[in-house]
Amino acid sequence: MSSDRILVIDDEVDLAASCQRLLQSKGYEVRVAASAEEGLQKIAEEEYQLVLTDLKMPGMGGMELLRVLRADYPEVLVIMMTAYSTVEDAVEAMSLGAANFVPKPFTPDHLLIVIERALEERSLRRENRNLREQLSRQYSFDNIIGKSAGMVQVFESIRKIADTDISVLISGASGTGKELIAQSIHAHSRRAGHPFVPINCGALPENLVESEIFGYEKGAFTGAAKPKPGLLEEANGGTFFMDEVGELPQALQVKFLRVLEDGRFRRLGSNQEQEVDVRLVCATNRDLEQHVEEGEFREDLFYRINTFPIHLPPLRERRDDIPLLSEHYLHRFAEKNGKEVTTISPEAMHMLMAHEWRGNVRELQNVIERALVLASGDTILPQDLPHAVSTPDISHADDHPGFYLHLPFKEAKERLVEDFERRYIADVLKRFKGNISRSAEQVGIDRRSLHRLLAKYHLDAVQLATED
């Protein structure tokens, strides 16, 4: 049963009554008015989704009524009907915002089709608008969590370039949220009403990347039984997001450069050029400048996609954001899993703050969801965290035993010893600027043993040499 309410306005009482019976038989709620003035009074009293009105009526005519409705009730659909149909009438009515135009006499089936189609299109437009609003909220700056200096800078960058067509290159380690930033740029751009189409260039075999991006014609290769548009075509008018763009095969780098230069490409197996209008946003976890120097990535393509660079810092460099992110994911996953877990204990939060987070925000998400499922009460405790997280990071662990009070004595002792070794070796290497021989001599062990400790604790002598 439809919930749509329709108002039929016509000075021909019999016709109006006939339309009312027809539409009511299809589940519509229908009111009738004998004049435009009466119709406006009814519209002021209750909400209508559609008005079916005659064009020629005593007093206010249908065209004048249409103008009033468009000004005062823009959400109401208007379908005009008249026995005096002319091309000029139809053009004027449609230009003023009428949903359609039905000449008299009309068959019941024709009228129903016109009304159903208009209501379906209205529903689709509302769904699309709601979706855009939802996306805008989901990917608004308020929902990209962060108050650290690095993230504030990212937000400022998005604000500056979102509503332009400038190409953007988002760099950052895996798990930092590069696609989320790309979606936020799209949601705040004038292309927001058009598709956001992503592709991960590193997730597909090299021989499939080209067909996925550019599409193909029937017979282009074995198994191509019918033509298929590529992702570029799907993104037309919107944003094309190329994740891990550094993995794009060199042969395709040339082809894609042309797309950026003149918006033209060819499907596989086609001699016909097609045009596409997309905003390009790329992301990478690689040092593309280095790959340019090494000849693995085209210099001209790099400068085209790197018009505006945005760098996402790893989570370990924005520890101020960890409590915010943790609370955010806690509430999200609690609702998702039907768990009444509302807080994270200070001890557990201390461990979250100390962890290195090699997997960045994605790893934090997984840890919080896992801990929430394991929690037996309303609070996430240290024992709910995975072992890797409950072992504090060298640079942020405190010397007091509070980190380890939840552990058995032997395990707590082992972890304290490991933390001491890790910190001690790191400090020595920093002091001697990463020199392995001098550091080994200082601590009284051989070079081989020092190398084993470096491997055990994932320490990089070169990196330590550059740290303050």
Pick the last residue of a domain from 132, 158, 186: 132
Same domain, 189 and 210: yes
Give the residue with greater pLDDT, 207 vs 137: 207
Residue 88: which residues within 8 A CB-CB, separation 6 or more? none
Tokens representing 456 are: 């055990």
CATH of the domain at 362: 1.10.8.60
CATH of the domain at 146: 3.40.50.300
Place of tokens 């003035």: 37
Give the residue with greater pLDDT, 48 vs 358: 48
Same domain, 302 and 154: yes
Helix axes 322-337, 346-354, angle to 10 degrees: 120
Q: For residues 308-324, give the mean pLDDT.
A: 90
Tokens representing 430 are: 């920093």
Strands 239-243 and 264-266: unpaired
Place of tokens 């200082």: 442
Domain-embedded: residue 137 = no
The per-residue pLDDT for range 385-402, each reduced to its tens digit, is 998 887 654 444 444 444
Q: Comparing C-alpha atoms, which of 110, 101, 85 is closest to residue 53?
A: 101
Q: Comparing C-alpha atoms, which of 455, 464, 456 is closest to residue 429?
A: 464
State the Cα–Cα distance between residues 177 and 162, nearest whole angstrom: 17
Indicate the number of domains in the chain.
4
Q: For residue 64, what pLDDT band results from cuts at 50, 70 and 90?
A: very high
Give the residue with greater pLDDT, 13 vs 411: 13
Please report, for residues 116, 243, 348, 437, the alpha-carbon distance to residue 278 in angstroms, rounded to integers and kept in the order given. Answer: 34, 15, 45, 55
Domain-embedded: residue 161 = yes
Same domain, 37 and 67: yes
pLDDT of residue 141: 61
pTM higher than 0.85: no
Same domain, 146 and 281: yes
Same domain, 118 and 9: yes
Tell me the residue range of the domain where 428 lies.
415-466
Domain-embedded: residue 123 = yes
Q: For residues 301-315, give the mean pLDDT.
A: 93
Q: For residues 48-65, give the mean pLDDT.
A: 92
Same domain, 120 and 222: no
CATH of the domain at 432: 1.10.10
The per-residue pLDDT for range 209-258, each reduced to its tens digit, is 888 999 998 888 887 788 889 999 999 999 999 999 999 988 889 888 98
Place of tokens 């994270």: 344
Domain-embedded: residue 250 = yes
CB of 450 closer than 8 Å to CB of 440: yes
Residue 465 pLDDT exceeds 90 = no
Domain-embedded: residue 353 = yes
